[in-house]
Structure 1
Amino acid sequence: MGIGLIVGVWVARYLGPEQFGAFNFAIAFVALFGAFVSLGLDSIVVRDIVREPEKKHEILSSAFVLKLCGGCIAFIMAWASIFVIRPADSQAHWLVGIIASGMIFQSLDTIDLWFQSQVQSKYTVLAKNGAFVVLACVKVILILNKAPLTTFAWAALAEIILAGVGLLLFYLKQQTFRMLWHPSLDRSIRLFNSGWPLILSGMLIMIYMKIDQIMLGSMMGDKAVGVYSAATKVSEVWYFIPTVISVSIYPTLIESYHKSEELFYHKLKMIMGYLFWGSLLLGMIITRFSREIVALMYGASYAEASSVLSIHIYSGVVVSMGIVFSQKYILDNTTRVSMIGTALGAIANVLLNLWLIDKYGINGAAISTLVSYIVPTVSLGLLVDKRILTTHIESIYYVLNKENYAKFN
């Protein structure tokens, strides 16, 4: 994380807001089509390999072919769409074309699913972290040699390819090359039928997460995207903390879920409460020193990013609570409810951006993102299950009550 942040900041300073914005616009634009690469297959493939280990080659090869086809389709859709969105912007055409081609090579991530099924994710970590470190060094070399913007797009593509090759080499140390040679039409159809609803979910999530940058680029230009992206990279770097906590406490939540409802909600509200106050405290500190942080990290050309950072940092409060609460959807087997919330949030994000970017510029995009992150919890709490909303609200003061610490001890 530290290396990524340092190199990312260096790249931003080198490129400047205009070019950095063009680069991030292309990344965000391509991300909208990423759901066609995964096809919602990841958890399904892992499940099927565990259930039918004797069919592992058929499952993996069928998934690989589907992902390869999906990657090709996603590449064509992304590249064709940018010509429609920005017909006269040749730089955007090149950037999107280069970055989007990485989706074809992401089909090699199918190998990661094998490692997951064998509880050997360390090989994925080694392959991807190795590629990341190598390309971080390459980016430094590019900066020192004053390389043009498109070379950084090629570096992003190279990282995907190198990670895929690393996965393949680790796989071949344990298995033969048979994974790619046993696709089954029947298996492919079954996998696709199981995964296609998650394609919509993936698209909604990407719209939810990336539409602010795309709308900023369309309404205010690449420089605005560059300034905005600089701020969000600082505020979003902390999101790994609630993610790690969520993964680590999931077994405990499962255990308490099956013991009693009261115990489950006690633990859920305690964890969410800690994350709320921790994220809020972090937000207040970042807000207080936002100008100094932006000046130190990015320089004077990104000065406007300080106000964006002061707003966007509080998205982490909502995100951290949401990441933990999402475990309840999984345990209740109500992930479709979560998808409805995501859809409502994505719609709110688009509508708010249309209104607030025009009124407040880049700060409007930050406000839109913050408010849209709150929309799923409030709307689902009012329309579907009031406990979704009340659990979030109660967790804020639940953790402050000393009597609650004595419960279940």
Structure 2
Amino acid sequence: MTPKQIAAFAIGPIGGAVLGLISLPVVTWFFSQEDVGRMAMLQVTLGFSILLFSLGLDQSYVREFHEAENKPALLKRAMLPGLVLLVLTVLVILSFGGALAGWLFEVPQWHLSVLVALALVASYISRFLSLVLRMNERGLAFSMSQLLPKLLLLAIIGGYIVVDAEKDLTNLVLANAAAISFVCAIYGWNTRAEWLAAIRSKLDIDQLKSMLRFGLPLILGGLAFWGLTAVDKVFLRTLASFEELGVYSVSVSFAAAATILQSVFSTVWAPTVYKWASAGKGLENVHKVSRYILALVVLGFALAGLLSWVVTFFLPANYAAVQWIVVSCIGYPLLYTLSETTVVGIGITRRSSFAMLAAIIAFAVNLVGNWWLIPTYGASGAAVSTCVSFWVFFFLRTEFSIYLWKPMPRLLLYTFTVISVAGAVVFTLWGEALGAWMVAYWLVVLVSWCVVFRGEVREVFGFVGRRLKKNAQKTGL
């Protein structure tokens, strides 16, 4: 993948994170804390439905794409079974009136159930059509389809403000459903040649069975990872309140800025490391890359701990707890990204069951942590549980990779991540009471970072300096 292609795919996650940071404060100022929490349950449901109803065929589509002679027929085999199952399920649920909205929002209204059903179907279709763009390396179209719904959501909410519309749950669900449907329409337009050809193609049942044999076992691992990232919201919905869920979802959304690193790195890293593996060289760089990502992870925790108070300037007073919770919330994207550098042994040896086992164990830890902490600490407990669980996830992926492949230096990895996660936990639960002590803690972490990673810092500045000098010479400046 060329730098230009990488940049095209990076526009989506980077722009999406920026637009999310803009739209989020707007939503918190004009909608109630409870309704913000209810939207978190909508997002959890969308993620679960895509995972469940795809039947693992989305992974089969990716696996067989480059080998398939008839790619539209492959799209039909991958997309059709789950779509039929999802539509039938949605129709059955809608026959019970407002039951779906009652389960999600505790507001059993039929029109809300219809909007949720529309969002479910549109999200499912978007998942497969986005894979068409991704596998055909149409990075710019893929990124634009990610950015446009966020822009539409901002435009709709801005319209509500201008016309002084009711700031109620119905309008908030309508805005989200409209944005999701809009991205589905954009994906549909950008992939019209593929899905129109897919409609005309013949459904090969034998090949479908083969794809299901590959894809269905992957659902277990997918469900475990979904649970690892979503069970905190389900527990908050059950053991706390929509207000706590609202505070937590806002914290997670601010922490999503760290997913820029995760998204961009994942786009580049997997193809690169497997290319090294196929060529039998370059794998010595894995340790070097891991050290660089560790430096970014530790720096991310330290800066979040020192600067989290900034978020209070953008949120209403009832979201003051976000400044403490957000530091633990960044644990998910940062630790997951770091684990991508240490898990390569599992991928190279093709022992994916170990990756699944790591997700299942971390999910179990998160279940226990949420059950234990949420009744006492609410949203703070959920953030701490998820952060610790992702450290366990990172640790297991690293150790399994070493067991299956070869040793790697990890004393520094574990030392700095434990220090960062422990600091995040204390900061989230007791940071307000500790005050200046926590500032001192993060300053010590930052100073230690400067000492330990001074070589990496020099290399980065040296590389940037050389690039700037080279560009200046090209332009004659």
Q: What's the TM-score, normalizing by structure 1?
A: 0.84
Kindly indicate whether the alpha-carbon contact (under 8 Å) linking 1:269 and 1:394 is maintained by their aligned counterparts in 2. no
Kindly indicate whether the alpha-carbon contact (under 8 Å) linking 2:57 and 2:79 is maintained by their aligned counterparts in 1. no
CA-to-partner distance for each residue in 1:172-211, whole Å, 9 max, x for gaps?
3x46823113341333333222211122222212111011
AA aligned opposite 1:248: V
Looking at structure 2, the residues matched to 400 and 358 of structure 1 have their Cα atoms a distance apart, in angstroms, of 40
- 1:124 equivalenced with 2:142 (yes/no): yes
Give the deviation of 1:66 after TM superposition. Answer: 1.7
AA aligned opposite 1:368: S
Of the three residues 72, 81, 106, the one matched with 1:57 is 72
Looking at structure 1, the residues matched to 390 and 99 of structure 2 have their Cα atoms a distance apart, in angstroms, of 27
> For the structure 1 residues 130 and 359, does the alpha-carbon distance in structure 2 shift closer, same or farther, using more than 3 Å as the test?
closer
Percent identity, please.
17
Give the deviation of 1:212 after TM superposition. Answer: 0.4
Aligned to 2:61: 45
- 1:213 equivalenced with 2:233 (yes/no): yes
> For the structure 1 residues 331 and 75, does the alpha-carbon distance in structure 2 shift closer, same or farther, using more than 3 Å as the test?
farther
Kindly indicate whether the alpha-carbon contact (under 8 Å) linking 1:30 and 1:100 is maintained by their aligned counterparts in 2. no
AA aligned opposite 2:254: V
> For the structure 1 residues 85 and 289, does the alpha-carbon distance in structure 2 shift closer, same or farther, using more than 3 Å as the test?
same
Give the deviation of 1:373 after TM superposition. Answer: 0.7
Map 1:370-389 onto structure 2 (within 5 A). Answer: 370-379=387-396, 385-386=402-403
- 1:15 equivalenced with 2:15 (yes/no): no
Aligned to 2:439: none
Q: What's the TM-score, normalizing by structure 2?
A: 0.73
- 1:33 equivalenced with 2:23 (yes/no): no
Map 1:235-384 onto structure 2 (within 5 A). Answer: 235-258=255-278, 264=283, 266-291=284-309, 293-379=310-396
Kindly indicate whether the alpha-carbon contact (under 8 Å) linking 1:22 and 1:223 is maintained by their aligned counterparts in 2. no
- 1:182 equivalenced with 2:197 (yes/no): no
Looking at structure 1, the residues matched to 245 and 195 of structure 2 have their Cα atoms a distance apart, in angstroms, of 46
Of the structure 1 ranges 72-81 and 218-227, higher mean CA displacement relative to structure 2 is found in: 72-81
AA aligned opposite 2:304: I
Tell me the SS of whatever aligns to 1:133: helix
AA aligned opposite 2:305: T
Give the deviation of 1:232 after TM superposition. Answer: 1.5
Kindly indicate whether the alpha-carbon contact (under 8 Å) linking 1:276 and 1:396 is maintained by their aligned counterparts in 2. no
Looking at structure 2, the residues matched to 253 and 108 of structure 1 have their Cα atoms a distance apart, in angstroms, of 29
RMSD between aligned residues: 3.5
Give the deviation of 1:118 after TM superposition. Answer: 3.1
Looking at structure 2, the residues matched to 318 and 78 of structure 1 have their Cα atoms a distance apart, in angstroms, of 38
Kindly indicate whether the alpha-carbon contact (under 8 Å) linking 1:269 and 1:395 is maintained by their aligned counterparts in 2. no
Kindly indicate whether the alpha-carbon contact (under 8 Å) linking 2:301 and 2:330 is maintained by their aligned counterparts in 1. yes
Kindly indicate whether the alpha-carbon contact (under 8 Å) linking 1:22 and 1:92 is maintained by their aligned counterparts in 2. no
Aligned to 2:22: 6
Looking at structure 1, the residues matched to 390 and 77 of structure 2 have their Cα atoms a distance apart, in angstroms, of 36
Give the deviation of 1:120 after TM superposition. Answer: 2.7
Looking at structure 2, the residues matched to 83 and 245 of structure 1 have their Cα atoms a distance apart, in angstroms, of 37
Unaligned runs of 5+ in 2: 1-16, 417-451, 460-477
Looking at structure 1, the residues matched to 197 and 182 of structure 2 have their Cα atoms a distance apart, in angstroms, of 21
CA-to-partner distance for each residue in 1:205-242, whole Å, 9 max, x for gaps?
21110110110121111000011111111112212213
Give the deviation of 1:306 after TM superposition. Answer: 1.8
Aligned to 2:128: 110
Kindly indicate whether the alpha-carbon contact (under 8 Å) linking 1:40 and 1:197 is maintained by their aligned counterparts in 2. yes
AA aligned opposite 2:335: V
Kindly indicate whether the alpha-carbon contact (under 8 Å) linking 1:315 and 1:373 is maintained by their aligned counterparts in 2. yes
